[in-house]
Structure 1
Amino acid sequence: MRNPLKEKPNWLVVRDRALTPAGARMREWRDWVVENDPLYAAARRPGPPEKIAATVTLLLIAGIVLFLLLFDWNLLRGPIGRWASAEYDREIELNGDLDVNLFSWTPSARVRGLRIGGPDWARDQDTLTVEDLRASIRLRALLAGHVEMPLVAVTRPRAVLIATDDGRQSWRLDPDARDTGEGLKLPPINRLLIEEGQISLDEQGRNIRLEATINAREGSDEQGGFHLDGEGTINGTPLTVLVRGGPFINIRRDRPYAFHGEIAGVGARLVADGSITRPFDLGRFDATLRMQGRDLADIYLLTGITTPNTPPYRLAGKLTRDGAKFSFADFTGRVGSSDLSGDIVVDKVGDRRRVDAELRSRLLDIDDLMAVLGAEPRVTSAGNTVASSGAPGRLLPDAPLDVRRLRVMDGTLRYRAAQVKRNDLDVRQVDIGADLKSGVLALDPVAFTFNRGELRGTAKINATRDTPYSAIDFRLRGYPLESIIPARGGVPTVTGQALGRARLEGSGASVHDFAAGSKGTVSLVVPQGRMRAAFAELMGVHVLAGLFKLDDASTAEIRCAVADFTVSGGTATAKTFVIDTTPVVA
């Protein structure tokens, strides 16, 4: 009679490695009990009930083993698919053969033809299809309470990942689960093989379209190891992604896995070389990150992190991820013609991203800072930055503020420049603090230290409206008048120290629009100083006398000067304008 068990590929292994040794151990135990244990007389001389119970137990165990060996697992494809579809509210099907091997220290399963459909709002696109999937699990580790997989082999997987403007993600099987931002964490896989994989990404919020191929092969040649290559568009401009890693062979949880990654798009290029500290826990890694581009504000489209406009930049530092927390520490580089270094921490607090930054410059080009306010920077061949307002005939920058980017995150910033390159305003140091919360940006302090004097104040930008509403309060102390009014013939026209205050508020998406529509007050006081006599005459009623004194270097004392303006609709109207000098009439 034909034995159907012999047709099973693993029968001989099960018989020789499991059943035969188990039977031998049972006989040894029985013989020991018979010879040594007086308490088990019934076992030494079992009666009919004991014999019947033992026989039934052995037959039951043998029946279960035979059932599992002969069972056609394909009968469970339908029930498994229906249960999974109901559980995750999407179509899940096992269309091909299902093979299961339970009688091993590494039980395994194989599925030919797996399909996971999309959620209700993306039914026309399957989230994942797999032609062939093989996986095994280590039984001893499972009995100890944790999962360890000796092998996962995937043939021709295709994943379609869709993210909408309102935050829905097609790959999330449980849409109600809170996104902690801690990254994907998989169980340890000793061998991972991926053949001819494809990934399609459609992220509508940042207008990203990407098609990528993914392979993980054994071998030490160029084709071996992990390869991900993607091309697409981001905001209508080209986007490329590249990731490289070693073969997934003998991977251990306590042995870091090295990788190399590159992303290029929207005028920026990011290159990372690092390692996943605990393999398959993608929420933990260390890397050296190098980044360069034309404007740091473009990084938002790649990372979702809001940064101000800047001149071209080149930065490098240590990037670390610990769950939802990213740290870009001890980075150095240049932004425009200024050096920049510091530390940046990105975390997730509740449902909002938070960015805290400590930045510093040893030597700042003031025109690089003007780019933050919306001026158009241009780096000259000599390495200096020249900033313009961006529109002919306009003194103030007119680049609009993107209020949507201020609403997506919270954070703090502290920036200090120890020295400033020689400039027309004679600025020597800069100190800026910022706090962004729920779409409201508070700047405190905004301080510029001059060779003589200081400008210090606060500003608040409310970006919760479509057109931001801003308010500023600045005080000027001890600024030399000779830096405002040009000298004549090498001799200062006016000397003295100016004190002032400007309190303005209004709506406007740019510095120019804010100034053009602002309201408030501006005042200026000169407690004492000196003025060329000719200039004093020209400002008074003796214009003709002033013209005759243009070459006269004599001066008059300024006993007091006060100017007080009200501002409405961007127009300043003098309420008080008084200059008290000593007599200068000949």
Structure 2
Amino acid sequence: MATNATNILRNRPLWQKLVAGVVLLFAALVIGLAFFPWDMLREPVNRYVSEKTGRKFEITRRLDVGLGWRQATVKFDGIEFANPSWARDPYLVKADRAEFDIRIWPLIASKIVIPRLALFSPTLGLQMEADGRRTWALGKDTSDGGTVPSIGLMQVDTGAVDFLAKHLGVDLHADLSYDSSRGEMPLSYRIKGRYKGQPLTASGRTGNVLQINAAGAPPFPMEINAAAGQTQLKAAGTVAELSGLDGIDAKFEIKGQTLGALFPLLGIALPQTSPYALSGSLGKRGKLWQATGLKGRLGLSDIAGDMRFDQADQLPHLAGDLRSRVMDMDDLGPLIGLPPTARTAATVEGVAPPPTITQVKRPGGKVLPTAPLDFERLRAMNADVKYTADRIRNVRDVPLDSGSVQVKLANGVLTLDPLDLGVAGGKLSGAIRIDASKNPADIRASLDVRAMQLARLFPKLETTGNSVGRLDGRINLSGSGSTVANWLGGVSGDVAVISGRGQFGNLLPVFATLVGGDIIKFMLRGDRNVELRCAALAFDVNKGLMTGRTLVVDTTNAVFIATGQANLATEGLDFVVRPEPKSKSILSIRTPLVVSGTLGDPKGGVEVVPLAGRGLAALALGAINPLLALAATIEPGPGVDSDCKGVLAQANKPTAGAAANGAARAKGAKQP
């Protein structure tokens, strides 16, 4: 029979003989590999990997391999793989056992694809440098040219991980603990170190299988409770891939001293704020982060809305729509460089209050904010965010009612346009433009005042209960600066406030004119209304010096004409108000009023020389006859009505030159 089989083989075609030979050879190879004593290759593998990577690699106890058609399963019983000499930690990985699947065919192209990696009691030392070197890059070149394995699923039990990236301000140590009794999240972790230069602590749980960059695998659960500096975060949800933090679906709570502190941590350029506490849902798909259902508070103000952060372009883009039912004025201070007030500093439980405004003292009674505005972060991203406040409270000196603003940031240019504020029953609207691509920043403000109610703008008038009238005006200022104070100290442009007819209680103008006869009439007859014919307060502004162009208030009983300047650089005031009564009266000691001091500490008084002249005349006549002394205090009157049409026309037109040019540049802040 053997002879017959041999004859059959001999009689077959050559191609059949070749196929039979290949099959027999493959079967022999499979049988040989299945029973191959892989551990005998342990030392050759140790030497080969050490030579190729330039660092010591050792399988300390046993090597075993299970082969498949597309991939192999490699098992190391004890492994030590050293880090490069420049690394802080001696080992990249050191573990009691390691097991991983490796794709066979990509190895032909020198690509390492590891769908699954399991480490038992590992210690990992991961480090990256500013020049691109990474300890996990395999090969003697550990920069971007090194071979970096692609890892899908990673399974870890009790162990420790160190990660160092000095150029990023990151130095973290994580301890891992595995316990199957913890349900779907058996792996717990504790992290301590520094992140972005700030102290960081974190703890939480996760599934025992982490998806580094495995596509198509189900998301794994994760919890975290972290604190970086004064920022605290709690989150719970699922993550699809760790390598790019992709496929995130989580609920989160975050709080801290200021939203501005998130810039170094997350790269999102948010403004300085009062202490905050926010919660919502967080999702990430590809390069797009979304925070939806936001709700919480900034200081004493509530806030809600949705935000999106897209990192697809070279400059990331922030967009959103936020709203406050009630916004507290004290929470606006940090936006212009003022610390939070004592009312807002301690509003968030568990967050240390920042330094408050009561702890900051300015020399010379100055009040304009001098804190540097951080324009650098304006160049870090683009943005388009709308904010609306339905009601504004705690307004004190400026009776704001409501407000909304569209914030746009493009290539370092920040615009607040449109900006709409409800003030004293009227509106303050316009635009502010900050070009942070220049140093110092080019800042322009163009704002219009419409229909503000006199009674609400001046509380002393409101208390009379019979004050009516409205104010209109504009602010067009442009200049360069790095703080609110030094910008105002160098601005040029036009400021004007005008009013048509109205009326108000006569107490204020009576005392302003110091007309004694009118005071007597007020005491005998009580308060009566005074008609306002017109008023105009207009300034030409040249490099921070506000010079009165038109300073006139015309009432039925007096005309007030003022001259003078306000220096925004020194915050000094220097005005003289000359009242001209329109009726004869007795017991007048009328004399020009002087307004001096600073914006933070204004002082009022009378000019001494005219007042002394009247006093000396009264004394001289009184020496002859006491009744004649009254002659020196008789106000002859009458003051002449001003040309209201001419007054308002003059107030509406800035003087040619620096003021007009500055006003024209400021108007360019508005959208065409």
State the TM-score, normalized to the length of structure 1.
0.75
User: Any idea what SS the aligned residue of 2:460 has?
Assistant: coil
- How far apart, CA to CA, are the structure 2 residues paired with 1:243 and 1:382? 28
Q: Is the 8 A contact 2:275 2:344 kept in 1?
A: no
Residue 304 (1) aligns with residue 267 (2): yes
Q: Is the 8 A contact 2:210 2:220 kept in 1?
A: no
2:44 to 53, 58, 75: 75
Over residues 27-64 of structure 1, what are the superposed CA-to-partner deviations in whole Å (9 max), with x where a residue is unaligned? xxxxxxx9xxxxxxx97884485686466435643664
The within-5 A match list for 1:505-516 is 505-516=478-489
The within-5 A match list for 1:358-507 is 358-377=321-340, 378-379=342-343, 388=357, 390-392=360-362, 393-421=365-393, 423-424=395-396, 425-487=398-460, 490-491=463-464, 495-507=468-480
What's the % identity of the aligned pairs?
A: 23
What is aligned with 1:21? none
Following TM superposition, by how much is the alpha carbon of 1:130 offset from its aligned partner in structure 2, in angstroms? 1.2
Tell me the amino acid that sits aligned with residue 152 of structure 1.
A
- How far apart, CA to CA, are the structure 2 residues paired with 1:213 and 1:514? 51
Tell me the amino acid that sits aligned with residue 323 of structure 2.
R
Residue 212 (1) aligns with residue 185 (2): no
Residue 568 (1) aligns with residue 542 (2): yes
1:345 to 308, 313, 317: 308
The higher radius of gyration belongs to: 2
Unaligned runs of 5+ in 2: 107-111, 558-581, 585-672
- How far apart, CA to CA, are the structure 1 residues paired with 2:508 and 2:210? 85
Tell me the amino acid that sits aligned with residue 431 of structure 1.
S
Q: Is the 8 A contact 1:486 1:493 kept in 2?
A: no
The structure showing larger relative contact order (alpha-carbon pairs under 8 Å, at least 6 residues apart) is: 2
Following TM superposition, by how much is the alpha carbon of 1:570 offset from its aligned partner in structure 2, in angstroms? 2.4
Q: Is the 8 A contact 1:188 1:253 kept in 2?
A: no
Over residues 174-212 of structure 1, what are the superposed CA-to-partner deviations in whole Å (9 max), with x where a residue is unaligned? 9769xxxxxx985246xx13442222333544x443322
Over residues 106-136 of structure 1, what are the superposed CA-to-partner deviations in whole Å (9 max), with x where a residue is unaligned? 7212453334538xxxx44469611246334
Residue 156 (1) aligns with residue 130 (2): no
- How far apart, CA to CA, are the structure 2 residues paired with 1:282 and 1:43? 64
Over residues 410-458 of structure 1, what are the superposed CA-to-partner deviations in whole Å (9 max), with x where a residue is unaligned? 2121100112225333322110111112222111122111351101121
- How far apart, CA to CA, are the structure 2 residues paired with 1:498 and 1:325? 47
The within-5 A match list for 1:133-212 is 134-137=98-101, 149=115, 152-162=118-128, 164=130, 170=134, 186-188=151-153, 192-205=155-168, 207-212=169-174
Q: 1:168 to 1:188 in 2, by over 3 A?
A: closer
Over residues 467-518 of structure 1, what are the superposed CA-to-partner deviations in whole Å (9 max), with x where a residue is unaligned? 4331111111111223343426942797421111111122333223322332
What is aligned with 1:17? none
Q: 1:231 to 1:356 in 2, by over 3 A?
A: same
Q: 1:131 to 1:176 in 2, by over 3 A?
A: closer
Which stretch shows the higher mean deviation, 322-331 or 568-577? 568-577
What is aligned with 2:634? none
Which stretch shows the higher mean deviation, 62-71 or 449-458? 62-71
- How far apart, CA to CA, are the structure 2 residues paired with 1:498 and 1:243? 59
Instruction: Give the root-mean-square deviation of aligned CA atoms.
Output: 4.3
- How far apart, CA to CA, are the structure 1 residues paired with 2:8 and 2:516? 135
User: Any idea what SS the aligned residue of 2:22 has?
Assistant: helix
Following TM superposition, by how much is the alpha carbon of 1:308 offset from its aligned partner in structure 2, in angstroms? 1.4
- How far apart, CA to CA, are the structure 1 residues paired with 2:463 and 2:382? 51
Q: 1:203 to 1:501 in 2, by over 3 A?
A: farther
Unaligned runs of 5+ in 1: 1-33, 35-41, 86-90, 178-183
Q: Is the 8 A contact 2:302 2:327 kept in 1?
A: yes
Tell me the amino acid that sits aligned with residue 81 of structure 2.
L
Tell me the amino acid that sits aligned with residue 303 of structure 1.
L
Q: 1:258 to 1:185 in 2, by over 3 A?
A: farther
1:227 to 188, 207, 212: 188
- How far apart, CA to CA, are the structure 1 residues paired with 2:457 and 2:301? 26
Residue 559 (1) aligns with residue 533 (2): yes
Q: 1:490 to 1:356 in 2, by over 3 A?
A: closer
State the TM-score, normalized to the length of structure 2.
0.66
Over residues 138-195 of structure 1, what are the superposed CA-to-partner deviations in whole Å (9 max), with x where a residue is unaligned? 98999xxx9884652254332333465xx95747859769xxxxxx985246xx1344
